[in-house]
Amino acid sequence: MGARVGQEARCGSQGRSAPGSGAGARPGGKRRSCTLRSGSDPEAEGLPGRLGVSAQWGGPGQKRRRWHPGPSWGLGGRESEGNTVLGMASSSPDSPCSCDCFVSVPPASAIPAVIFAKNSDRPRDEVQEVVFVPAGSHTPGSRLQCTYIEVEQVSKTHAVILSRPSWLWGAEMGANEHGVCIGNEAVWTKEQVGEGEALLGMDLLRLALERSSSAQEALHVITGLLERYGQGGSCLEDPAPFSYHNTFLLADRTEAWVLETAGRLWAAQRIQEGARNISNQLSIGTDISVQHPELRTHAQAKGWWDGQGAFDFAQVFSLTQQPVRMEAAKARFRAGQELLQQWQGGITAEVMMGILRDKESGICMDSGGFRTTASMVSVLPQDPTQPCVHFLTATPDPSRSVFKPFIFGVGVAQAPQVLSPTFGAQDPVRTLPRFQTRVDRRHTLYRGHQAALGLMESDQDRGQQLQQKQQDLEQEGLKATQGLLASEWAPSLQELGSLFQAFVKRESQAYASAS
């Protein structure tokens, strides 16, 4: 996935390397390059033997500097200016919670595929699980319990893979069996955020994935549900309510859509080529592809727009005095734009992973009470005969996590290591008043990963060895899926379906052996 299909990934002067993973990766400068050597046995897990060959790894640096080979996922990267050893970078403690979504549509992508990516930034102790939900048939007229309210169920739902905060029903990001991907973000506008419980933006995301076979259909699902049920309710597992409206990035094999909401109102922009990102702010200006029928009349009635000239959605609906969290989002939004522009025509899964790992810009967040709690990158080939590949971490801090490949297939089942425990009717989200107690939602992989992070910080040598194992495992997944899309590896549907489980198992074993 790090090069055009059928070609070896290259670094250095012969080609652009993917953005780096870890501290020191900054937009705008010379890329570092290093070689990873796989020491594991891919054939033991049914993966092609070619995964053991060396692969290239690289990333951008803001200053003109030469990076030397070595672990670069947050520890051990060495730069030649004074041979400074860079550790984990961190944003200001005052930085707010945030999310960042990215999409690349050919010709911005290096391969004939739409590439989607998201970092989910949430309270630092919140656990995200990766949940597989198979397709289903449902009784007409039945009801569906979402996080806070019930909605009418549809007769058929699609299979989905979700990365979600383990206390709620919806999801921060996910994909379905038809190659539709969605990520959401918090946004605050002039439209008042309601105090009552309704559908969370994360509920809308999951409902759209379960009910749509294209990005455009997903947009219609979300806007229809928004009109009928509204959005609202606390978005944190905390007795103090924290609510917001939502923006969404929706993608499929052929195009993407940005959907931005203000209460029940909304505007959407279609992206049929190039790269786009969103970061906790309204970003649709006058280029509106479709909108709520009452959007402009409502703005006029409120005195936000005089009805003359071009209608700029972001300008009309954005708060005059932006909260700190949205001011900070502007810098991340610009940094994301710059990184996407820098890689126009060469964006791959590895490039997106590198962008998600960029700490200097704040895209990879680690600040006080918030951090990047999970990440996802998806490759959606334009050729419908090729499978879509979704890489998920299921653990916090992508600069020290493994992106593991998931592909829909007949053998897909839930990986138990990334599923959080359940508490039924006694769950704090179910008992009223809500969130008066806390429960331990950590799943097996999360526990192992937390222990691994502790080892990386307490023992540099052993930590570097463990990070090398992480890098090797991720590169195997990238090489396997690259071979799949290049028709160099023809696994059975059963093998495809069990791919994510195999990588989760091996990552768990690596953490267990290191403890």
Domain ranges of the chain: 100-513
Angle between helices 201-211 and 215-229 (to 10 degrees): 130
pLDDT of residue 93: 33
Task: Say how far apart CA 357 and CA 343 lie, in whole Å.
Answer: 15
CB 109 within 8 A of CB 378: no
pLDDT of residue 398: 98
Q: Give the residues across from 378 on adjacent strands.
A: 116, 390
CB 131 within 8 A of CB 102: no
The b-or-e profile of 326-362 (16+ CB within 10 A means b, else e) is bebbeebbebbbebbebbeebbbbbbbbbbbbbbbbb
Task: Say how far apart CA 308 and CA 226 lie, in whole Å.
Answer: 28
Q: Any idea which residues carry the catalytic annotation?
A: 99
Per-residue pLDDT in tens (0 to 9) along the chain, 515 residues: 333 333 333 333 333 445 543 333 333 333 333 322 233 343 334 333 322 222 223 333 333 222 222 222 222 222 333 322 222 223 333 334 579 999 999 999 999 999 999 999 999 999 999 999 999 999 989 999 999 999 999 999 999 999 999 999 999 999 999 999 999 999 999 999 988 999 999 999 999 999 999 999 999 999 999 999 999 999 999 999 899 999 999 999 999 999 999 999 999 999 999 999 999 999 999 999 999 999 999 999 999 999 998 999 999 999 988 777 667 788 899 999 999 999 999 999 999 999 999 999 999 998 878 999 999 999 999 999 999 999 999 999 999 999 999 999 888 999 999 999 999 999 999 999 999 999 999 999 999 999 999 999 999 999 999 999 999 999 999 999 999 999 999 888 888 999 999 999 999 999 999 87
Bond before 433 cis per omega within 30 degrees: yes
Task: Say how far apart CA 515 and CA 507 lie, in whole Å.
Answer: 13
CB 456 within 8 A of CB 400: yes
Task: Say how far apart CA 490 and CA 493 lie, in whole Å.
Answer: 9
Q: What is the CATH number of domain 100-513?
A: 3.60.60.10
Q: Which two tokens stand for residue 340?
A: 């996407």
List, as one string, the DSSP characters of 344-371.
TT-B-HHHHHHHHT-TTTTSS-EETTEE
SS3 384: coil
Task: Say how far apart CA 177 and CA 387 lie, in whole Å.
Answer: 9
Task: Say how far apart CA 392 and CA 161 lie, in whole Å.
Answer: 10
The Cβ of residue 427 has, within 10 Å, a number of other Cβ atoms equal to 15
CB 421 within 8 A of CB 440: yes
Measured between alpha carbons, how far is residue 1 from residues 47, 91, 350 in Å? 16, 30, 7
pLDDT of residue 147: 98
The Cβ of residue 457 has, within 10 Å, a number of other Cβ atoms equal to 14
Q: Would you put residue 63 in left (φ > 0), alpha (ψ -120 to 50) or beta?
A: beta
Cβ neighbours of residue 310 closer than 8 Å, sequence gap 6 or more: 286
Give the rounded distance of the alpha carbon of 195 from its chain centre.
28
Sign of the torsion angle spanned by Cα atoms 54, 40, 49, 482: negative
User: How is the beta sheet containing 128-133 ordered, strand by strand?
Assistant: 128-133, 160-165, 173-176, 181-187, 245-251, 256-262, 265-271, 290-291
Cβ neighbours of residue 93 closer than 8 Å, sequence gap 6 or more: 367, 368
Q: Would you put residue 460 in left (φ > 0), alpha (ψ -120 to 50) or beta?
A: alpha
